[in-house]
Structure 1
Amino acid sequence: MRILNICSYSWAIGGPARTIFDNTTQALQQGHQVDILSPITPGDKAYPVPPGARLFECKRTPGVSKVFREFSIELYHFLKMHIHEYDIIHIHGIWHFGSLAPFLTSNKVPKVFTIHGLLDTWALKHSQWKKQLVTFLFQKKLLGKAALIHVLNTDEEADVIQYLGYRPGNLVVIPNGMKISDYTDLPPKGTFRTQFGISANKKLVLFMSRLNIKKGLDLLLPAFQRYSLKHPDTVLVLAGPDDGYQEKAEAFIKENQLESGIKLVGMLTDKIKKAALADADLFVLPSYSEGFSIAVLEAMAARVPTLVSERVGFGEYLKKYDAACLTPLTVEGVEQGLLQTLSNSQYRLEIADRAFTMVNKHFDIQVVAKQLLDEYQKISPAQ
């Protein structure tokens, strides 16, 4: 099969780019052709491309792209010229121009949507008027025309049914996957702490995601401030690109004189990212909304205990395996979670072990990538 993924394929986008990378790697090993079509803005850092795949970057059109996300005349022209060369068009996310553009050309190539958590209650309330307008103009119609709607969990399945008002027959639930072996051989302990001046005597709490309010930073920061008053032997590391919340985070740190207790280290990639996981005593993500958090899976594959909300995309698995400390979405809940986990090393070890077992059993990339390829083959005209 010849597969085209459409996504803003950058480090800043986070999970979806990693998902495309891992699934593409597996598809290439099975002899399929995979390309990635990505709208970009100046300064975007493209995510690595698996050997054998091709990345086509299209500049976003200035001005219009601020109103209609990722609008790109170049992307439209690419599809008009080349869409007939593909057997599957896989659109990642909705509400952006890349979700509309494949339908603007005269073609019958099957379209696949992966929702990536963008239909849950929190996401729908963000920029609500724009999403209501897009829904009215075309978004529901496009989902109805898709050959396949891919969701990552049963919560997202319910979100799609509520949004459309019916359960489409082409809806499938396939989780994200991980290449577990990437996180079993980590850099030596102390590497990250040395680079960023964090004492070995202090506990390290790691937040590694986009600095966006939906990640629960409005809960985490005051919860940590309260916790650190009685436990100054703990450092919170905020690792991730700014996505609208860095200025508020910096202001909170300054107002509460937390410069020694909270460190913003920017986006981490490759070896230094793994070094952060190797040195972390706890990974935290009290998110309001996730399609399926790759960052949490990465932490669990690295055997880091986690403090997360059940909205990270696989809450039912976390409950079944008791694989994380689950926090309610309140400041008090996050503070209590910090106390429960950081005061009990045996508890941290136990939830980390159960999480590693869960990830191995259910989220190995070879298993989930095969499920997606099987669904492609059902709808591909090449079969």
Structure 2
Amino acid sequence: MRILNICAYTWAIGGPARIIYDHTTEVLKQGHQVDILSPMTPGEKSYPVPQGARLIECARTTPISNYYREFSVEMYRYLKANISQYDVIHMHGIWHFGSLAPFLIPNKAVLVITIHGLLDHWAVEHSKWKKKLVTILYQKRLLGKADLIQINNTDEEQDVIRYLGYRPKNMAIVPNGMKLSEYTQLPAKGIFRQKYNISPEQQVILFMGRLNIKKGLDLLLPAFLKVYQQIPNAILILAGPDDGYQRETEEFIEKNKLHNRVKLVGMLTDSDKKEALADADLFVLPSYSEGFSIAVLEAMTSGVPALVSDRVGFGDYIKKHNAAFLTALKPESVAEGLLKILQDSSYARLIANNAYNMVVENFDIKVVANQLLEEYKKVKKI
């Protein structure tokens, strides 16, 4: 098969780019061909491309793309000229031009949409008027026309049913996966701490994600303040690019005099990210909304005990395996979980071990990639 993924394939977009990378690495081994069509803004850093795949960058068309995500005349022209070459066109996410354009051009490809958590209650309420307009214009109709809707879990299944008003026949649950080998051998401990002047005695709480309100930073920051009052050597590392909440974060730090206890280190990639995981005592993501958090899987594969909400995309697995402290979406609950993990080493080891076993058993990319390929084949057009 020749597969085209459509996604803003950048470091800033986070999980979807990583998912495409890992899946592509596996399907290339089986002799399939993969292209990635990525609308880009000048200056954005593209995600690494697996050897054997091809990245096709196309410029976003401004000012329209400032209001309608990823709008790109260049992308449309590429599709119009080349769409007949592909057996599968896999669109990542909804609400943007990349999930509309393939439906505008006659083709015989299998059209696949991965929701990536964008229909949960929190996500739908964000920029609500825009999403209502897109819904009225085309989004419900296109989901019904897609050959395959990939969802990651039963929560997302209910989100789709609520949005459409019925259960589409073309929907299948296929979780995201992890390339386990990349996170089972981490760099030596101490490198990240040395870079950021963190002593061995300090307990590192690591947050990795975009600085966006949906990640639960409004819960995490006041929770950390409570933790710091009881554990003075605790330090919070916020690793991620600004996505609308950095100013509020800096104001909180200033107001509560946390300059030496909360560090904004920007987005970490490649070895820098692994060095942070190697030195972390705890990983935290009290998110309001995630499709399927690759950052959480990376932490769990790295053996770091985690505190997360059940909105990270696989809360049902976490509950079943007791694989993390599942927090309510309240600062008090986040603080309780942080203190439990930092002060109870036996509990921290237990959930870290459970989490690693859960990932190995359920989210190995070799297994997951084959599941998705089989779903492609079920709906492949003659």
TM-score w.r.t. structure 1 length?
0.99
Aligned-partner Cα distance in 1 for 2:317–2:380: 32
Counterpart in the other structure of 2:316: 316
Moved over 6 A (4+): none
Aligned-partner Cα distance in 1 for 2:229–2:150: 45
Counterpart in the other structure of 1:141: 141
Counterpart in the other structure of 1:52: 52
Structure 1 residue 247: Cα displacement: 1.3
Counterpart in the other structure of 1:236: 236
Q: 1:71-102 CA distances to partner (integer Å, 9 max, x unpaired)?
A: 10001001000001100000000000001111
Structure 1 residue 48: Cα displacement: 0.3
Q: Within 5 Å, which residues of 2 pair with 1:69-80?
A: 69-80=69-80
Counterpart in the other structure of 2:128: 128
Counterpart in the other structure of 2:151: 151
Counterpart in the other structure of 1:175: 175
Counterpart in the other structure of 2:295: 295
Structure 1 residue 108: Cα displacement: 2.6
Q: Within 5 Å, which residues of 2 pair with 1:1-383?
A: 1-381=1-381
Letter of the 2:299 partner, please give it: A
TM-score w.r.t. structure 2 length?
0.99
Letter of the 1:38 partner, please give it: S
Q: 1:333-375 CA distances to partner (integer Å, 9 max, x unpaired)?
A: 1111111111111110110000001000000000000000111
Aligned-partner Cα distance in 1 for 2:270–2:129: 38
| 2:12 counterpart SS class | helix
Q: 1:299-318 CA distances to partner (integer Å, 9 max, x unpaired)?
A: 00000000000110000110
Aligned-partner Cα distance in 1 for 2:368–2:113: 16
Alignment RMSD (CA, Å)? 0.8
**Contact 2:87 2:108 survives alignment (8 Å):** no
Letter of the 1:129 partner, please give it: W
Name the count of aligned residue pairs: 382
| 2:116 counterpart SS class | coil
Letter of the 2:187 partner, please give it: P
Structure 1 residue 379: Cα displacement: 2.0
Aligned-partner Cα distance in 1 for 2:41–2:246: 20
Aligned-partner Cα distance in 2 for 1:71–1:141: 19
How high is the sequence identity, in percent, across the aligned residues? 65
Q: 1:146-199 CA distances to partner (integer Å, 9 max, x unpaired)?
A: 000000111001100111111111100010100111111110000100011111
Letter of the 1:245 partner, please give it: Y
Letter of the 1:353 partner, please give it: N
* Structure 2: gaps of 5 or more residues: none
Letter of the 2:330 partner, please give it: T
**Contact 2:239 2:265 survives alignment (8 Å):** yes
Letter of the 1:68 partner, please give it: Y
